[in-house]
Amino acid sequence: MALQAIPRAERKGLVIVYTGNGKGKTTAALGMVVRAIGYDWRILMIQFIKGDWMYGELEGFKKLAPNFELKRMGKGFVRIMWDKRPIEDHIQAAANALNYARENLDKDYDIVILDEINVAIKEGLLNVQDVIKVVKNRPAYLTMILTGRNAAKEIIELADLVTEMIEIKHPFKKGILAQPGIDY
């Protein structure tokens, strides 16, 4: 028996925010991707921070095509010890990513994920009001998911659903480094 999605004309797109200092924000968004693909929905994920790092999801994403499309538009993690890029490069990359989102909201997607956009706002790469305009101008059926630590209060107020991931315990504090297949 095939799953039947609610027609777009009858859908109420949501604004969903995954934030907090704990792990799992992008992973929660990807869980929704798997569910949505079960209904043959199309999903666009735009990464605002993650740059040319190689990680396991990239290979896994290929298996979700053609329903899932990833645009890696960030220049890497900003303002961390090995970030040698001028801040202007990060600002331009974030602006390009937001423009890409704006231009693709009505391109037959059912969900658009703005991955790490909360970090881009917090780090001053994007203006929160510019992001809010993009979110408010989406088609009525389109769900948008915004991930990243430190979600701005304006983003939280705009959202229909906000989940905060809270770190209780982390293996790094025991000296265990990030694990392939688990962390990246």
- Which amino acids are annotated catalytic? 21, 23, 25-27, 35, 77, 82, 116
Pull the structure tokens for residue 15.
């604004």
Which own/partner contact pairs does 122-128 have at CB distance under 8 Å and 24+ positions apart? Answer: 122/148, 122/149, 122/150, 122/152, 123/78, 123/79, 123/90, 124/91, 125/48, 125/78, 125/90, 125/91, 125/93, 125/94, 125/95, 126/48, 126/94, 126/95, 126/98, 128/152, 128/154, 128/155
Distance of CA 156 to the CA centre of its chain: 15
- In eight-state DSSP terms, residue 52 is S
Rg (the chain; Cα; Å): 16
